[in-house]
A and B are shown apart, each in its own frame.
Chain A
C-alpha cells in the first residue's frame, strides 16, 4: 500500500512530489508520457509572472505571488537557469494608460511591487519598443525560466529522495475502496491511501473516475514563435500588452537561454491533443506582437509550436478534495500562471490537505539539491579544460549550434530521470535547439541513445511512443 499516488508529472505534480519527498511517505508519481513535463509544462511562455494580473484574492493571485518569491531558492537548489529580468506591461494609447493605472492598483492589492514608467523611461529601457508608447507598468520580480529542466530537475530531486517515478504509464481507472484507492494503470494495479490528481489536460477525466464533477476543462491552445539567439538585444524584459478577457495577451520576451519568444494566441479547442500550428494564427500573433515591438526579425524564427492550457470553467485554480472523499485531491485547471505558482501549489496542497491526513515525520536525509549539471558553456576556459582532461568526451562537440558536447549528453543518460528520446535530450541540454534545429546533430543523438539503451536506432523515438524517426535498415554498415 502506497501512501500517496500523484497522477501527472508536469510542473504541478513534480513540485508536489518533491514536497512530499521531504517526509517519511511512500510516494509514486505516474505519467502517461515517456518523459516528465512533456505536455503543458513543455510548451508555454516560460515566464515566472510577478502576479500583477490575477483577480485579487483568487488562488491564482495568492499562489502566483507566493510562487514567485520561491524561485530564487528553487532555481539554485534545482540548478535551473532563471533570470529575474522584470516585465513591462505597455500602454500605447491614452485609454490604455487609464487601464495601466487600474492594473497598478490591482498589483498593489496582490502585493506585487510595481512602478509606472513614463514613455521616456520605457524607450530608454527598451529601445526597440513601439515609439507610440505612452507608459508601462514595470514589475521587477517577473522572470524567465528554463521550463524543461525545471520539471526534469524537480522530478529528479523527488526521485533522488525516494519518490518512485512511473513513465509511460497512464492511469486507466480508479476505485474508491473506502480506506484506500485502487489505481489501475496500463501496466498494473496499485493501492494508495491518498491520490493527488495533477493530470493537467486529463485532470477532468481522472477526477470523474471517482465522482461526478461540477467543473469542466475548456482547453485553450496557444501558438508561439521562437527566435534564434542573436547579439543585439531585441528586448530586455518580458513585454506584455494590456491584459484582456482572453488572458495576458501576446508577449515578446527573451528566454532563459537568450532566445526570444513571441506569443501566445489563445483559442479554445475541442481536442486536448491538438498541438498543431497554423499560418493564420501565427500571422495574427505577428500582427499583435509588432504593435509592441515593431522590428521583430521574423527571419530569425527557428521554430513555431503550440501549447494547450487546461483552462477550467471556474477560471481559477481548482485545488480541493473530492466531494466524496477528502483523500482524493484535485489539482486542476492549472493554466497560466501555473508555472510560477507550482511550488506554492505544492505547499498549499501539503499544508491544507496532505499534512492533515498523515502523522508526518521529516526525512532525516532529504537533500533539496540536485547534483550539479555539467554545462560547459557556463564555464571558464580553465574549468572546461579541467573537465576535458577528466573526460575527453567533454571536448567533442555534438551540437554545433548550441555547442553541446558528447560528454554532457552521456552524463544526462546516467541521471535518475534520463532522457529516452531525441526530444528528451534536446529539452535537457539544448542539443538540437539551435538554428539548424537538429539537422546536423539529431542523427548523432539518435545513435547515442540507441547505443546507450542497447536497441536498434529504428526503435529510437523523437517524442512519444509512435514517433519513431527511422523506418528501415537498408544495410548493415
Chain B
C-alpha cells in the first residue's frame, strides 16, 4: 500500500485550490486523483466568459481560469494522476483508485479532501411525465457534446429550469444556429444569476416563463416531437387550461445540481440538506481527516468562491495533518427562518480568526436583517437589501463574537425590516 499525506479526490477548481493551499501550508506529499484526461473538471467545457471576477479582477473563460491553477499545480510540483477514478474510500482513509497504467491501487492518506463536484438532476429524478424518447438531455451533457465534441444535440429547443447552465446553453446553442423556443421555470423566480438572464435570454429574445413546467413530453417516434408546458399554482399543481405546446426536437434540463458524494454517503458521513456532507469550520466532515469543498459540499454559483472554499479545505487538511486542529468546542450552526442551509454546520476549532458563514435563502427577499442568534442572545445582525436563492450569501464573523454564547448553537435567520 502506498502512503500519502494528502489525497485530493477531483482535480477541478476546488481540488486544485486545495492542493495549492495545502502545499503553501507545508504539506509536500500530495496526490490529486482526477477521473478525466485533463485537470480542471467541468470548467473545461465552460468556454463562455465571466469567471475570475473576484479571484483575478478580470473576466476569463473557464479554460483560461482553470489553466491559471493547473499551471500553479505544475510549477509547485504537485503530483496528479489523470484518468484515475476513485472506487472506494474507507473510514481509516484508504483510498482505492483505478487507472490504465497503475491498475487498482490502495493509498493510505493522513487526510483526504473530497472535491468531486456535482451532477445534474436527470429526467428520472424529477419524474418527468411523458414518452421515454431521446432528445431529453441535461444541459451540462449537451454542453459537453457541443463544446468538447462539436455536436449540437438539437435544433429546436425547450429548456426546463432556469439554472445557470441552462441559461448559458440557451445562448450557446442559439449562436450555433439552434432555435431556443423558451425557458420554463417551475418556481415564481429564476434560479439563475441575474446577469445570465440578461446576457443569455433577454439579449436573444428568448422568453422565460415562470411558474410553468413540463406537463408532458411527446415523442412516440423515438425522438422528442413536442413539449407541453402548463402553469402551476402555489402548491406546484398544474392549472388546467394553461397548456402551451412547442414543436421541438429537444428538451434541455437545467433542473438542479446535486453534490456527487456517493463515497461519503457510503461512509455514513453526516449529511446535510444540501445533500453534501456536514462540515466544521475547517471543512472537515464527521469522519476525522476527511474534508469536503466546492460543489460536492454545496453547489456554488460562482467558481471564484469554489476556489476560495478549496483553499479553506486545503488549509484545514494541512492543519489536521500537522496535528493543529484539536476540537475545542462544538457550536452547531443551524438554518432558521428563510434560510435553506448554512455552511459550516459546526464550529469546533479556534484556528480561524474570522468565520465565513455561507448560506442561501429559500425565496427572494428584500430589505431584511440577517440575524445570528444563540438562544436569546443576538450575536450579530446584518442588513441586506436584496437576497435571492440563486446567489450564495457570505457573511464573515470575528471569532471573538463566538465566545461566551449562552448555548452551543447559533441560528442564522431572516427578519423583515
Contacts and interface: CB of A to CB of B under 8 A. Distances in A.
A370 interface: no
Given A466-B222, A472-B155, A388 B104 contact: yes
Interface stretch (B50-58, B64-72, B122-130): B122-130
Contacts of B100: 388, 392-393, 395-396
Contacts of A388: 98, 100, 103-104
Contacts of A438: 122, 141
A437 interface: yes
A206 to B, nearest CB: 21
Given A395-B102, A397-B98, A477-B149, A471 B155 contact: yes
Nearest to A302: B124
A405 B83 CA distance: 11
A396 B100 CA distance: 5
A396 B124 contact: no
Interface in A398-417: 400-401, 403, 405
Contact of A470 (B145, B266, B268): B145
Contacts of B133: 467
A231 B144 contact: no
Interface of B: 35, 83, 85, 87, 96, 98-104, 106, 119-120, 122-125, 127-135, 137-138, 140-141, 144-146, 148-155, 176-177, 216, 220-223, 249-250, 258, 260, 262, 265-266, 268
Given A301-B127, A462-B134, A447 B149 contact: yes
Give the 7 A-B CB pairs with smallest separation, nearest first. Answer: A303-B124, A467-B222, A462-B134, A392-B100, A437-B122, A467-B134, A397-B85
Nearest to A461: B134
A401 B122 contact: no
Contacts of B127: 225, 277, 279, 282, 301, 304
Contacts of A396: 83, 98-100
Contacts of B132: 275-277, 305-306
A439 B152 contact: no
Contacts of A442: 141
A57 interface: no
A431 B151 CA distance: 21
A465 interface: yes
Interface of A: 225-226, 230-231, 273, 275-279, 282, 301-306, 381, 384-385, 388-389, 392-393, 395-397, 400-401, 403, 405, 435-440, 442-443, 447, 457-458, 461-477
A20 B133 CA distance: 35
Nearest to A406: B100
Contacts, number: 158
Give the most central of B96, B149, B176, B265: most A CB within 10 Å.
B149
A231 B150 contact: no
A471 B154 contact: yes
A139 B329 CA distance: 53
A322 B137 CA distance: 46
B124 A471 contact: no
Contact of B120 (A395, A439, A474): A439
A392 B134 CA distance: 32
B152 A474 contact: yes
A472 B122 contact: no
Give the most central of B99, B122, B128, B148: most A CB within 10 Å.
B122
14 contacts: A225-B127, A282-B127, A381-B104, A435-B119, A436-B119, A436-B260, A439-B120, A465-B222, A467-B222, A468-B134, A469-B137, A470-B152, A471-B155, A473-B151
A260 to B, nearest CB: 13
Give the most central of A303, A401, A467, A476: most B CB within 10 Å.
A467
Nearest to A462: B134
B83 A226 contact: no
Given A470-B145, A474-B146, A439 B134 contact: no
B85 A276 contact: no
A230 B275 CA distance: 14
B262 A435 contact: yes
Contacts of B268: 231
Contacts of A400: 35, 85
B151 A458 contact: yes
Nearest to A271: B220
A252 B250 CA distance: 33
B124 A439 contact: no
Give the most central of A435, A471, A472: most B CB within 10 Å.
A471
B161 to A, nearest CB: 14
A392 B262 contact: no
A403 B104 CA distance: 12
B172 to A, nearest CB: 10
B85 A403 contact: yes
Given A435-B119, A471-B153, A395 B98 contact: yes
A277 B152 CA distance: 27
A226 B124 CA distance: 9
A277 B216 CA distance: 9
Given A438-B141, A465-B222, A470-B151, 15 more contacts: A275-B131, A302-B124, A381-B104, A385-B104, A388-B100, A388-B104, A389-B103, A392-B100, A395-B103, A395-B104, A397-B98, A439-B140, A463-B222, A474-B151, A477-B149
Contacts of A436: 119-120, 122, 260
A395 B82 CA distance: 12
B124 A457 contact: no
Contacts of A466: 221-223
Given A279-B129, A435-B119, A304 B104 contact: no
Contact of B129 (A276, A443, A472): A276
Contacts of B83: 396
Contacts of B125: 301-302, 437
A468 B124 contact: no
Contacts of A226: 124
A396 B130 CA distance: 36
A470 B153 contact: yes
Nearest to A300: B125
Contacts of B266: 231
Contacts of B155: 471-472
Given A393-B100, A439-B138, A467-B223, A303 B122 contact: yes
Contacts of A305: 132
A275 B133 CA distance: 9
A201 to B, nearest CB: 14
A259 to B, nearest CB: 12
Contacts of A443: 141, 144-145, 148-149
Contact of B103 (A282, A304, A384, A461): A384
A440 to B, nearest CB: 7
A29 to B, nearest CB: 23
Nearest to B175: A474
Contacts of B150: 473-477
Contacts of B130: 276-278
Nearest to A477: B150
Contacts of B98: 384, 388, 395-397, 405
Contacts of A230: 265
B406 to A, nearest CB: 35
A475 B147 CA distance: 10
B210 to A, nearest CB: 20
Given A305-B132, A385-B104, A467-B223, A278 B153 contact: no
B223 to A, nearest CB: 6
